[in-house]
Structures are given as structure tokens and as C-alpha cells.
Amino acid sequence: MVTKIDVSDLDKSVRFYSEFLGYKEVIRTRPTPEGSVQVYTTHGGENFRDGLTFVYTPGRTISANNPGLHTLVFSIKNLDETLGKMIAAGHKVLRPPRETKAYVSSKSSSVVIAYVADPDGYQLELVEWKP
């Protein structure tokens, strides 16, 4: 129903996913007794079921090798524009764009794929579908 990822800076991560990938904050929980806060987001829907949830827990060490999370994949309308904004903001491109026919469907002849790191180093796969 939702994808939750641990983050080291809640506001920085929410801003990254909002600014570059179009996610909108819909719910921010009150801190638990341990200080953990969750932000639920949506990507055009009415609730968080089609979004991501960011979990901040004070003192938790964040690693890009966090067990159970390999890659988050996003469909992007304009990959060059999105990558340009990310690079200008200082975010790291892990693998530059490449076109492939490996994911061809009845609605696309090819895709362009690039990989970037989010503020905590999680690998994001950005996919632009070509007609």
C-alpha cells in the first residue's frame, strides 16, 4: 500500500521528492515517544496510497545499503529537464541516461533510464517512456 523509507533529514527529503518528482505532503504525524515522525505523500492522488512515506527517527543511522530497499523507480515525463534540475541543485547522478528497448510495450518503442541518488544516497531509477 505504501513504500516507507528511513531518512536522515525529514524536510530535506520531502523537499527533494516534492521539487524534483512531484510528491505532495498530505500527512505529518506527531512525534512518537522516541521522537519518530512520518510524512506521508501523494503523487497526484487524494491520499497517501499512491505516494511515499518518509520516516525520521532521531539517532537512526541511514545507509544507502539499507536492507530491503534496493531502488525506487519513477516514471518521468521529461528526464533531461528533471536531471538538469537535480544536477543544478547538487545531487549526484549515479548512471547517466541511456536508451534501451528492454522494456518496450504496446505504448512505447523504447525508454531512457538514468540513476540518481536522493539526499540519503538511496538509488532512484528515473524512466522516460518514448512513443
Domain range summary for the chain, segments of one domain joined by +? 1-59, 69-131
* Cα–Cα dist 13/83, whole Å: 17
Q: Do domains 1-59 and 69-131 have the same CATH topology?
A: yes
Q: Is the pLDDT of residue 88 over 80?
A: yes
The domain 1-59 is classified under which CATH number: 3.10.180.10, 3.40.109.10, 3.30.70.20, 1.10.760.10?
3.10.180.10
Q: What is the pLDDT of residues 30-48, one digit of tens each?
A: 998 889 898 989 887 766 6
C-alpha of 46 from chain center: 19
Cell numbers describing residue 41: 505523500
* Class of domain 69-131 (CATH, top level): alpha beta
Q: Is the pLDDT of residue 52 over 60?
A: yes
Mean pLDDT of the region 53-59: 88
The pLDDT of residue 100 is: 85
The alpha-helical segments, DSSP class H, found in the chain are 10-21, 79-88
The pLDDT of residue 13 is: 93
pLDDT grade, residue 126 (50/70/90)? very high
Beta-carbon count within 10 A of 129 CB: 17
Q: Is the pLDDT of residue 116 over 90?
A: yes
